[in-house]
Every structure is written in structure tokens, then in C-alpha cells.
């Protein structure tokens, strides 16, 4: 089974995490995860293509913001809240609390066609 | 007199601010400003070239993280703590508190020759 690399807690870098969070789709994803707990990658309610979503998930995983757990063919995502709070207390909650602005950013995202869901590629 | 554009408080965007903060030099600058209050641009204790510094200051100003006040030939910098706290409560302090990591990042910055200080350009 393929294993996915996750940085250890003491390897987490503030600049990398801030860069990973500086995107409206990724902010929306972490807000959904904060509400839902662990969630299959495919259930994320976002108007982005599957490949775009994979890129965002990888960016967040490599920064240490989320954990990806492989269960069969499913990739289950969860926030690494404990690790983040231990290393950068208050950072994640401050970002999650910035509700209004994140909502504003998310509303400005143009929907993209979803790959492989309508029986064809765009 | 040339005036510098600063975004209004209600125009501040979380993603833009996070991107502006996701750089070790810029993090170090905001930490110095948090300690010193208003500070002339030239007094920043950083091993970066003047042009690099100007780029970083502009990025932070355009994101709304700091204010640049022109006083004669001097550019005086200050953090927009009140505006940031009003829009994104706890964010700036969480970033500033992440001391150890920021220090680690700052230590890994390679010194650059400073322009116009040793009587020549590199």
C-alpha cells in the first residue's frame, strides 16, 4: 500500500502553513473539516475539478495542516488541529474564526466542471 | 507628495494577508514592528538588499498588514494591529506568538549584500 508523507509536528513551518492557508478553496476545505471531522475527499462540497482538489489536498498535507488516511480506495481527510495548536497556539482557530472574510472569498470562486462525474472529460 | 495606497479595513482579505505573512523576512519585519512600534524602513535589522526590502514592505502594505508614512525622505512603518484585530481577531497575535518557528525560519535566511551601503552594487 502506498503511504503518504506527513511532516512530524516538530517539523511544521509557520511560513509553509501560512502559504498553504492563503487560498480560498483550501480555507473552505479546512473549514468543512473543522465542522465535519474526518471526511472522505470526494465529499468536499467544492466547485473544483478533481485534479485541482488533489493539488490542494497535497499542499495542505505537505504543510502539515491535514492528514490523509487511505481506507480502501477512499482518501479520508482530517485536520491536524492538535499538532497545529501545539506548535502555533491560536493560529488555526483565528483563521477558522475569520468567517465572514472566508465566506466572501469562497463566493468569488468560479465553478469549474468536475472531471469524471458527467461521464466525460471537459 | 506621492501618496501610498493602503486598503481600507473592510477591504482586508484573509487570503492576501496569509500570503503576505508566509515569508520569513516579512514575518521577521512584523515581529520587529510589533516590538518597536513605528520604525523607519532603513532601521530594520535584516540582511536583505534595499530593493528586496522595498518589495517586502510593498507586499505587506498592499495586503493591509502595515502602514507606510512618508516623513521627508523617510518611510516610517507601523503594524496595522487595530485593523487586523478588528477584522481577524487573534490572527496577528497567533502569528507573532509563533516565536520559535519564526526564529528558526529567520536563521535560515542567507545574508544578501546590502545595496548602496558599501559604496557599490554587487
Say which of B91, B104, B105 has its CB closest to residue A95.
B91
Nearest-by-CA chain A residue for B17: A22
Q: CA B43 to CA B59: how far, in whole Å?
A: 18
Q: CA B33 to CA B29: how far, in whole Å?
A: 6
* The three cell numbers locating residue B15: 487570503
Backbone angles phi, psi at A39, to 5 degrees: -150, 135
User: Which domains can be identified in chain B, with CATH numbers?
Assistant: 9-100 (1.10.10.10)
Q: CA B118 to CA B122: how far, in whole Å?
A: 10
Strand arrangement of the beta sheet that strand A66-71 belongs to: A39-40, A74-79, A66-71
A27 Cβ under 8 Å from any chain B Cβ: yes
Backbone angles phi, psi at B66, to 5 degrees: -135, 165
The pLDDT of residue A23: 95
Q: What is the pTM of this model?
A: 0.81
The pLDDT of residue A70: 92
pLDDT tens digits in sequence order for chain B, 122 residues long: 567 899 999 999 999 999 999 999 999 999 999 999 999 988 887 778 888 999 999 999 999 999 999 999 899 999 999 999 999 999 999 999 985 454 555 555 555 555 544 443 33
Say which of B24, B87, B98 has its CB closest to residue A91.
B98
pLDDT digits (tens, 9 = 90+) for A27-53: 999 999 999 999 998 888 777 888 899
Q: CA A76 to CA A38: how far, in whole Å?
A: 6
Nearest to A47 by CA among A20, A72, A29, A66: A29
Query: Is B98 close to A105, i.e. CB distance below 8 A?
Result: no
Residues 6+ apart with CB under 8 A from B94: A88, A89, A90, A91, A93, A94
Query: Is B101 close to A87, i.e. CB distance below 8 A?
Result: yes
Are A6 and A77 a contacting pair, CB within 8 Å? no
B79 Cβ under 8 Å from any chain A Cβ: no
Amino acid at each position: 500500500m502506498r503511504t503518504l508523507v506527513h511532516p512530524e509536528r516538530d517539523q511544521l513551518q509557520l511560513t509553509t502553513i501560512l502559504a498553504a492557508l492563503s487560498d480560498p478553496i483550501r480555507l473552505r476545505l479546512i473549514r468543512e473539516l473543522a465542522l465535519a471531522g474526518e471526511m472522505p475527499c470526494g465529499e468536499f462540497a467544492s466547485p473544483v475539478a478533481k485534479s485541482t482538489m488533489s493539488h490542494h489536498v497535497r499542499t495542505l498535507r505537505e504543510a502539515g495542516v491535514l492528514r490523509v488516511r487511505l481506507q480502501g480506495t477512499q482518501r479520508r481527510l482530517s485536520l491536524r488541529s492538535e499538532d497545529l495548536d501545539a506548535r502555533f497556539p491560536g493560529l488555526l482557530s483565528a483563521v477558522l474564526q475569520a468567517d465572514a472574510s472566508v465566506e466572501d472569498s469562497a463566493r468569488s470562486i468560479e465553478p469549474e466542471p468536475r472531471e469524471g462525474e458527467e461521464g466525460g472529460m471537459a
